[in-house]
Amino acid sequence: AVAVKLSPVEGIEVHVVGGRLLPRQAGLFGDETCRAVAGRHIDLAIMGCEGLDARGTWNSQKDVVRVQRAVIAVADKRCFALDASKLGKRAPVHLCPWEEVELLVTDASAAQLRSAGIDLTPDRVRHVKVGNEDISYANEVVSRRRKHS
Protein backbone atom coordinates (compact mmCIF):
# COMPACT_ATOMS: atom_id res chain seq x y z
CA ALA A 1 0.00 0.00 0.00
CA VAL A 2 2.84 2.43 0.81
CA ALA A 3 4.54 1.69 -2.51
CA VAL A 4 1.33 2.49 -4.38
CA LYS A 5 0.92 5.78 -2.46
CA LEU A 6 4.53 6.86 -3.09
CA SER A 7 4.75 5.77 -6.74
CA PRO A 8 3.20 8.94 -8.25
CA VAL A 9 5.43 11.32 -6.25
CA GLU A 10 7.94 13.08 -8.47
CA GLY A 11 11.53 12.38 -7.46
CA ILE A 12 10.77 9.14 -5.60
CA GLU A 13 11.66 5.85 -7.23
CA VAL A 14 9.80 2.92 -5.67
CA HIS A 15 11.16 -0.64 -5.80
CA VAL A 16 9.46 -3.79 -4.57
CA VAL A 17 11.10 -7.20 -4.20
CA GLY A 18 9.88 -10.74 -4.66
CA GLY A 19 9.11 -13.35 -2.05
CA ARG A 20 6.24 -15.22 -0.45
CA LEU A 21 3.04 -13.18 -0.18
CA LEU A 22 1.49 -13.08 3.29
CA PRO A 23 -2.07 -11.90 2.64
CA ARG A 24 -2.74 -10.58 6.16
CA GLN A 25 0.27 -8.25 5.90
CA ALA A 26 -0.19 -7.64 2.17
CA GLY A 27 3.56 -7.99 1.76
CA LEU A 28 6.29 -10.22 0.40
CA PHE A 29 8.47 -12.15 2.85
CA GLY A 30 10.91 -15.04 3.17
CA ASP A 31 14.47 -15.92 2.18
CA GLU A 32 14.05 -14.66 -1.39
CA THR A 33 12.90 -11.28 -0.10
CA CYS A 34 15.76 -10.99 2.40
CA ARG A 35 18.32 -11.83 -0.30
CA ALA A 36 16.81 -9.26 -2.66
CA VAL A 37 16.82 -6.58 0.03
CA ALA A 38 20.43 -7.34 1.03
CA GLY A 39 21.55 -6.53 -2.53
CA ARG A 40 19.94 -3.08 -2.48
CA HIS A 41 20.65 0.38 -1.16
CA ILE A 42 17.66 2.17 0.36
CA ASP A 43 17.65 5.93 0.91
CA LEU A 44 14.60 6.02 3.15
CA ALA A 45 12.75 3.02 4.58
CA ILE A 46 9.24 3.74 5.87
CA MET A 47 7.94 0.91 8.01
CA GLY A 48 5.18 0.05 10.41
CA CYS A 49 4.92 -2.38 13.31
CA GLU A 50 2.45 -3.59 15.90
CA GLY A 51 3.84 -2.02 19.04
CA LEU A 52 6.27 0.52 20.41
CA ASP A 53 7.61 1.07 23.88
CA ALA A 54 10.75 2.24 25.66
CA ARG A 55 12.78 -0.64 24.14
CA GLY A 56 11.80 0.16 20.55
CA THR A 57 9.52 -1.39 17.95
CA TRP A 58 7.76 -4.78 17.94
CA ASN A 59 6.02 -7.04 15.45
CA SER A 60 4.23 -10.37 15.71
CA GLN A 61 5.43 -12.22 12.62
CA LYS A 62 9.04 -13.42 12.63
CA ASP A 63 9.07 -13.46 8.80
CA VAL A 64 8.04 -9.80 8.74
CA VAL A 65 10.71 -8.88 11.28
CA ARG A 66 13.40 -10.71 9.28
CA VAL A 67 12.61 -8.63 6.20
CA GLN A 68 12.34 -5.41 8.20
CA ARG A 69 15.75 -6.09 9.80
CA ALA A 70 17.20 -6.70 6.34
CA VAL A 71 15.77 -3.34 5.23
CA ILE A 72 17.15 -1.59 8.33
CA ALA A 73 20.61 -2.96 7.51
CA VAL A 74 20.73 -1.36 4.05
CA ALA A 75 18.76 1.85 4.64
CA ASP A 76 20.40 5.24 5.12
CA LYS A 77 17.38 6.49 7.05
CA ARG A 78 14.76 4.47 8.88
CA CYS A 79 11.30 5.88 9.56
CA PHE A 80 8.40 4.28 11.41
CA ALA A 81 4.85 5.51 10.80
CA LEU A 82 2.77 4.45 13.80
CA ASP A 83 -0.49 5.57 15.34
CA ALA A 84 -0.98 6.18 19.06
CA SER A 85 -2.98 2.97 19.53
CA LYS A 86 0.33 1.05 19.37
CA LEU A 87 1.95 2.96 22.26
CA GLY A 88 3.10 0.82 25.15
CA LYS A 89 2.28 -2.41 23.28
CA ARG A 90 4.63 -5.28 22.63
CA ALA A 91 4.29 -8.04 20.09
CA PRO A 92 6.14 -11.38 20.28
CA VAL A 93 9.23 -10.26 18.31
CA HIS A 94 11.41 -7.23 19.12
CA LEU A 95 12.24 -5.49 15.84
CA CYS A 96 14.72 -2.75 16.72
CA PRO A 97 15.73 -0.26 19.41
CA TRP A 98 15.12 3.48 19.00
CA GLU A 99 18.83 4.02 18.28
CA GLU A 100 18.22 2.47 14.85
CA VAL A 101 15.30 4.79 14.01
CA GLU A 102 15.89 8.28 12.61
CA LEU A 103 12.26 9.35 12.50
CA LEU A 104 8.94 8.43 14.09
CA VAL A 105 5.83 9.73 12.32
CA THR A 106 2.84 9.48 14.66
CA ASP A 107 -0.38 11.03 15.85
CA ALA A 108 0.76 10.52 19.46
CA SER A 109 1.60 13.66 21.40
CA ALA A 110 5.00 14.24 22.99
CA ALA A 111 3.36 13.65 26.39
CA GLN A 112 1.93 10.31 25.24
CA LEU A 113 5.35 9.22 23.96
CA ARG A 114 7.03 10.18 27.25
CA SER A 115 4.30 8.37 29.20
CA ALA A 116 5.12 5.20 27.21
CA GLY A 117 8.82 5.61 28.05
CA ILE A 118 9.77 6.74 24.55
CA ASP A 119 12.32 9.53 24.84
CA LEU A 120 13.08 10.83 21.36
CA THR A 121 14.38 14.31 20.63
CA PRO A 122 11.87 16.59 18.85
CA ASP A 123 13.82 16.42 15.58
CA ARG A 124 13.21 12.64 15.50
CA VAL A 125 9.41 12.88 15.80
CA ARG A 126 6.90 14.26 13.33
CA HIS A 127 3.37 14.60 14.68
CA VAL A 128 0.56 14.16 12.14
CA LYS A 129 -3.21 13.73 12.23
CA VAL A 130 -4.72 10.26 11.87
CA GLY A 131 -5.82 9.57 8.32
CA ASN A 132 -3.43 12.14 6.87
CA GLU A 133 -2.34 10.66 3.56
CA ASP A 134 -0.15 13.60 2.66
CA ILE A 135 3.18 12.19 1.55
CA SER A 136 4.85 15.54 1.00
CA TYR A 137 7.04 14.95 4.05
CA ALA A 138 8.57 11.84 2.49
CA ASN A 139 9.21 13.90 -0.63
CA GLU A 140 10.83 16.59 1.54
CA VAL A 141 13.13 14.03 3.19
CA VAL A 142 14.22 12.69 -0.21
CA SER A 143 14.80 16.23 -1.50
CA ARG A 144 16.96 17.11 1.51
CA ARG A 145 18.94 13.89 1.04
CA ARG A 146 19.65 14.74 -2.59
CA LYS A 147 20.88 18.22 -1.63
CA HIS A 148 23.35 16.70 0.84
CA SER A 149 24.57 13.92 -1.47
3-state secondary structure (DSSP) of residue 23: coil
Q: Which helix (H) or strand (E) holds 105?
A: strand 103-106
Q: Which of 7-11, 37-41, 50-54 has the lowest mean pLDDT?
A: 7-11
Cβ proximity of 54 and 62 under 8 Å:
no
What percentage of residues in the chain have a pLDDT greater than 90?
56
pLDDT band of residue 132 (cuts 50, 70, 90) is: very low
pLDDT at residue 134, rounded to an integer: 47
3-state secondary structure (DSSP) of residue 51: strand
User: How far apart (Å, rounded) are the C-alpha atoms in residues 77 and 71?
Assistant: 10
Burial label, 26 (beta-carbon count in 10 A; 0-12, 13-18, 19+):
exposed
Regarding predicted confidence, which is higher, 50 or 147? 50
pLDDT band of residue 104 (cuts 50, 70, 90) is: very high
